[in-house]
Amino acid sequence: MVVKIDSVEVDEGLAQDLQMMVEDCSNAESVRDEFKRIFWEQQAAACRAKKNGVRWHPLFIRWCLNIMLTSGKTYDIIRESGFIRLPSRRTLRDYTNWMKLKSGFNAELLNYMREEFKIDTLPPWKRYVTIAFDEMKIREDLVFNKTTGEITGFVDYGEETFDERFEELRRRCNQGTQIRERVVATHMLVLMVRGIFFKMDIPIAQFPTAGVSADDLVYMTWKAVQMLSLVGLEVICMVADGASSNRKFFACHSIEKYKKMCITYKAPNLTLPGQFVYFMVDVLHLMKTTRNAWSNSQAKGTRHLEWMSSFNSQTSDVYDT
């Protein structure tokens, strides 16, 4: 806005001179840095081209994406200032949405992982991975997708197809029973696979939920273990925070007679007989929970942690004897 208000319009001759200066800078031998040269070339091309007629260099697009993903507001301010010619958000969005996102597991993404990380050529010890899952609060809303013609925002575990939903609707109408009401999602559950001996952090599934249950987690996580085994990866650990549904999920794998006696920390791997999958609570969440417990341990607080000096003196006496 400042540029539009305080700027001075120049005549055509001066505008051509300024454009020639930009082109000279892009062709100058002093510009040895590749990105600087590409930057000046892109600015010169944007000055010559008409509206929406610029072919942006991939390196310049990547630079713009880094700015936009770091701070979208900053990118808008730079673009609207007029000092630098940058591609629109819609142009950058075409480069970020290179794969169709949907609820549930994405087979296309698993095939991409297999080719990108060359999993078939990795030694067996390098194929160990972990699954981290977490549920985060989202804004409740329904959005119409113009590309697919679907309304997103409902609870969707990604398993039912449109034909199955239509068949259920027709069956319920014929029977005169009540049609199942669709619930608007309040949370998003994300499953991410992480490599142990090589760098890989990829979300392999997402589920809009209204608060996931332990039974749902059993199905989703072991489905992820099965699909990753088909790609060639072996899951040896599942990591989650200390939410009640996650603790119940861990307890679902305990033997009935030992359920109240010990904490469940492993379960047999259903895809690889003789192997185990271990359960772990995220260390950062444990540290945050401990900090909050100490912080709320006050006279009118919700926690009541205290230092047991008598216990320490008794234990020291035992060790001394």
Task: Output the CA–CA distances (angstroms, integers) from residue 221 to 21, 206, 207, in the order listed.
Answer: 59, 12, 12
Amino acid code (one letter) for 11: D
What is the Cα–Cα distance from 171 to 273, expressed in whole angstroms? 41
Which residue do the tokens 């002093």 mark?
30
Task: Output the CA–CA distances (angstroms, integers) from residue 81 to 6, 47, 189, 198, 209, in the order listed.
Answer: 11, 15, 39, 42, 41
Bigger pLDDT: 67 or 262? 67
Give the model confidence (pLDDT) of 11-22 as tens digits: 666 666 666 665
pLDDT at 116 over 90: no
Is the Cβ–Cβ distance between 158 and 102 less than 8 Å?
Answer: yes
Least-confidence region, from 193-197, 255-259, 261-265: 255-259
Quick one: pLDDT at residue 83?
78
What is the Cα–Cα distance from 137 to 187, expressed in whole angstroms? 5
Which residue do the tokens 């273990």 mark?
225
What is the Cα–Cα distance from 42 to 40, expressed in whole angstroms? 5
Give the model confidence (pLDDT) of 261-289 as tens digits: 567 888 888 888 888 999 998 888 888 88
Q: Mean pLDDT, to the nearest integer, of 241-246? A: 87
Cα angle: 8, vertex 86, 97; to 5 degrees: 155
pLDDT at 123 over 50: yes
Least-confidence region, from 210-219, 264-273, 301-310: 301-310
Bigger pLDDT: 190 or 9? 190
What is the Cα–Cα distance from 243 to 62, expressed in whole angstroms? 37
What is the Cα–Cα distance from 27 to 268, expressed in whole angstroms? 64
